[in-house]
Amino acid sequence: MNSQHFDLIRATIFRVFRRVSVLLYFWVLFAPQLQAAEPAFIRESIRARGMGNAFTAAANDEMLLFYNPAALRSVYYNIYQIAGFNTTYNENITNLGNSSSGFSTLGSLAGKNIHNEIDIGFLSHVNSRFGWSLFTNSFVDLKVRNPIIPYLETKAYAQTGIAGGMAWSFLDFQLDLGLGVKLVQRSGIDTKLHIFDEAIIEFTEDQKTTKLQKKFVSKAAFAPDAGLIYHFDSYHNMEPKVAFSLQNIGSLDFEGAGKVPMTMNIGVSTESEFNGIDMILAADYRDLADSQKMISEGNIMSERNIKIGVEFGWQKLFNGHHLISFRAGRNGPYNSVGWSLNLFGFKVDFAKYSEEIGGYAGELEDKRTSLQVSLIF
C-alpha cells in the first residue's frame, strides 16, 4: 500500500469519526431525558416534614398559614415566633464540595440533585382568629444531566414575603372557614444551562454582564388562600376532622424565577390523649387537580401526593408546643422521621425525609435533612 492510499484511508476514517462524533454530541445533548420534578412551594414546616408533610387538617402552629388558614381555629394559645432559622440540605452537597474539578464534579453528579434551603421567619404570630408570618428564604436546586456533555437544570432564588389570614367558626363551632393571603418578592432564575454556554464561560472570566445574569428575574406576586375544616363529634377519646384547602389561588407567577401553582388539598386528622401523651394522626392527598403535574399520563392519582403522619407529644407548654415531640410519616413512597425539643421558648426541630424528584413515585429518591432553631413564646 503506497502513501497516497494510506493518506486517503486515514482522511476517510477521520471524516467518518468526526461526523459520528458530531452526531453523538447532539444525540447526547438532545436525547429525551426523564424530567425530575418536585412540587413548588413558598415555605414548608420542619415539623410537618417529620410527619410526612400531612398537615392540611393537622396544622395548629405558626406555620399553618402555608397549609390551611382555617387551621387558625385549631390554635388555642397565642403563639409568637420572635425568630426562627432553619436549613435543609441533601446528601449530594458534600460530593460537590469534595471534588477539585468542576468537570469531574458535574460528571460524577450526573443524574443527581444538589439541594439547599435556608429559611428565616421572624415576628410571626397566630391565635384562634387571625395570624401573620414574615419570612425570608433562599432555595437552590441544581440537577446535572448527561455525564458526557453535562448541562444544568438550575432553580435558585431568594425571596421575602408576608402571609396573613383570618378564620371564623360556624354550625356551633363544627365548621371552620379561613381566608389568607401571601405577598412575595422573589429574585432568581429557573432555567437550563449547558456547560459550554457562554454564560458560564463569561461568568468564570469575571465579566460585568453575562447571559446568566440577564436570565435573573425579580418580581413580586400575590395570591389568596382559602380553607375549610369540619370537626366531627368526639369518638372514644378521638377528635376527628376533615379539611380542604386552596393554596395560592390563581398561582404565584414569578416568570423566569419560577411559578407556584394553585393547589387543592384534602386532609383528615384526629387528636387524642393517652396517659399524658398527646397524639396526632393525619393523612393528606395533595393537589387534587394535578396543577403541579405530578401524575403520570393515564393515571388519575399518584402515590407521591399521598402524605401520612403521626406525632407524639409530651408535656404541653404555655405556647401550645410540647416539651418533647416525636414524629414519623410517609411522604409519598418514602419514610420520614422527626423530633422537637422545646426548652421554654428555645425550640429545636429536626426532620429527616426524602423527596421524589423523578418522573414517578419511587423512581428517584432525594434524601434530605432539615434543622431549625427558633424563639417561640
Are the C-beta atoms of 332 and 304 separated by less than 8 Å?
yes
Grid coordinates of 224: 389568596
Predicted confidence band of residue 363 (pLDDT cuts 50, 70, 90)? confident
Residue with more model confidence, 181 or 295 = 181
What would the mean pLDDT of 224-239 be, rounded to a whole number? 94
Residue with more model confidence, 204 or 97 = 97
240: closest CA among 227, 231, 251, 229?
A: 231
| pLDDT for res 162 | 97
Is the predicted pLDDT of residue 14 greater than 70, yes or no? no
**Number of domains forming the structure of the chain:** 1
Residue at 258 is within a domain? yes
Residue at 24 is within a domain? no
| DSSP annotation string for 229-285 | EEEPPPBTTEEEEEEEEEESTT-EE-GGG-EE--EEEEEEEEEEEETTEEEEEEEEE
What would the mean pLDDT of 151-159 be, rounded to a whole number? 87
What would the mean pLDDT of 81-101 be, rounded to a whole number? 80
Is the predicted pLDDT of residue 100 greater than 50, yes or no? yes
**Chain-centre distance of CA 184, in angstroms?**
16
| pLDDT for res 16 | 43
For residue 106, what are the domain limits? 32-376
Max CA separation in the chain (angstroms): 102
- The burial of 201, by beta-carbon neighbours within 10 Å (0-12 exposed, 13-18 middle, 19 or more buried), is given as middle
| Percent of the chain's residues with pLDDT above 70 | 78
Residue at 348 is within a domain? yes
| pLDDT for res 109 | 64
Are the C-beta atoms of 246 and 226 separated by less than 8 Å?
yes
List the single range of 17-21, 52-56, 72-76, 259-263 with lowest mean pLDDT: 17-21
Pairwise CA distance, residues 171 & 232, whole Å? 11
Pairwise CA distance, residues 367 & 92, whole Å? 9
Predicted confidence band of residue 91 (pLDDT cuts 50, 70, 90)? confident
Are the C-beta atoms of 329 and 336 separated by less than 8 Å?
yes
Residue at 126 is within a domain? yes
Residue at 7 is within a domain? no
Is the predicted pLDDT of residue 68 greater than 60, yes or no? yes
| pLDDT for res 98 | 62
CB atoms within 10 A of CB 95: 14
Are the C-beta atoms of 242 and 57 separated by less than 8 Å?
yes
Collapsing DSSP to helix, strand or coil, 344 comes out as coil
What is the residue-averaged pLDDT of the chain?
85
List the single range of 23-27, 80-84, 221-225, 255-259 with lowest mean pLDDT: 23-27
List the single range of 21-30, 194-203, 324-333, 367-376 with lowest mean pLDDT: 21-30
What would the mean pLDDT of 135-155 be, rounded to a whole number? 81
| pLDDT for res 351 | 98
Question: The domain spanning residue 303 has which CATH number?
Answer: 2.40.160
Are the C-beta atoms of 280 and 269 separated by less than 8 Å?
yes
Residue with more model confidence, 299 or 4 = 299
| Percent of the chain's residues with pLDDT above 90 | 62
| pLDDT for res 9 | 45
0.95 surpassed by pTM: no
Pairwise CA distance, residues 279 & 274, whole Å? 8
Are the C-beta atoms of 50 and 88 separated by less than 8 Å?
no
| 182-202: pLDDT as tens digits | 999 999 988 876 655 545 544
Residue with more model confidence, 155 or 117 = 117
Is the predicted pLDDT of residue 213 greater than 80, yes or no? no
Are the C-beta atoms of 330 and 353 separated by less than 8 Å?
no
